Amino acid sequence: MPSMNAVLFISFLLFSVGVAGVLIRRNVLIILMCVELMLNAANLNLVAFARHSGTVAGQAFALLVMGLAAAEVTIGLALVVALYRKKDTIQVDQINLLKG
């Protein structure tokens, strides 16, 4: 049985890797994947606390977060495809239509 600290630490590592990926990569697909990574880190925390408290609320909400992540990635990928048709690129630093 893992200790609470181990779960929280692994989840923290996953989250910070996700934040770093969102901040440093140019490719918008990688950025979307890193957002998924952060959502998973939050899910891991929810499950761990559900286990700790002995109730099922955390697991139910982790399931809801999972569905929300699926919706988010669908919209994100549709946006990427539309953007690629428009601008012929998926590098975020070349998408500067709003730049004055």
Restricting to residues 4-63, name those near other proteins by CB under 8 A.
4-10, 12-14, 16-21, 23-27, 29-30, 32-34, 36-37, 40, 43-44, 47-48, 50-57, 59-63
- Please report, as residue ranges, which positions from 68 to 87 form the binding site for other proteins (by CB under 8 A): 68-75, 77-82, 84-85
**What is the size of the binding site for other proteins (CB under 8 A)?**
74
Shorter beta-carbon distance to other proteins: residue 12 or 100 = 12
Nearest to 30 by CA among 21, 20, 39, 42: 21
Shorter beta-carbon distance to other proteins: residue 5 or 97 = 5
Q: How far is the CB of 87 from other proteins (least distance, A)?
A: 11
Q: How far apart are CA 80 and CA 82, in angstroms?
A: 5
Q: What are phi and psi of 91, to 5 degrees?
A: -90, 125
Give the torsion sign (CA, 43, 46, 51, 57).
negative
